[in-house]
Amino acid sequence: MTVTAKDLRFNVSMLFDVLEKGEDVLITYRGKAKAKLISCDAPINAPKDDALFGMWRDRDESVDEMVRGMRAGRNFDL
């Protein structure tokens, strides 16, 4: 199904019905394709099966400490 950006703004519930049936939705803006909505078959609260998920688990330094260290700036005194 192809819809315009205006249809997206005013008929969101209709688009959810179309997605629920398994049909993809192509969104156009000024006659050009800009986005594609596809239906999601996986449950939203499914456990993450990503290789990077939990990559900080074995580190002693917290993410906040690392980010603060990166933002601290550098001292180039010679």
Q: Which of these, 23, 30, 27, lies nearest to 10 by C-alpha position? A: 27
Question: Is residue 65 a part of any domain in this protein?
Answer: no
Q: Which pLDDT value is given to residue 45?
A: 65
Question: Is residue 6 a part of any domain in this protein?
Answer: yes
pLDDT 10s digits, 36-64: 988 877 566 666 666 666 776 777 878 78
Token reading at 15: 């688009």
What is the rounded CA–CA span in Å between residue 35 and residue 27?
5
Percent of the chain having pLDDT more than 90?
19
* Residue tagged 């179309």 (tokens): 18
Full domain range(s) for residue 29: 2-37
Question: Is residue 74 a part of any domain in this protein?
Answer: no
Helix or strand (DSSP H, E) at 44 = none
Question: Is residue 23 a part of any domain in this protein?
Answer: yes
How many independent structural domains does the chain possess? 1
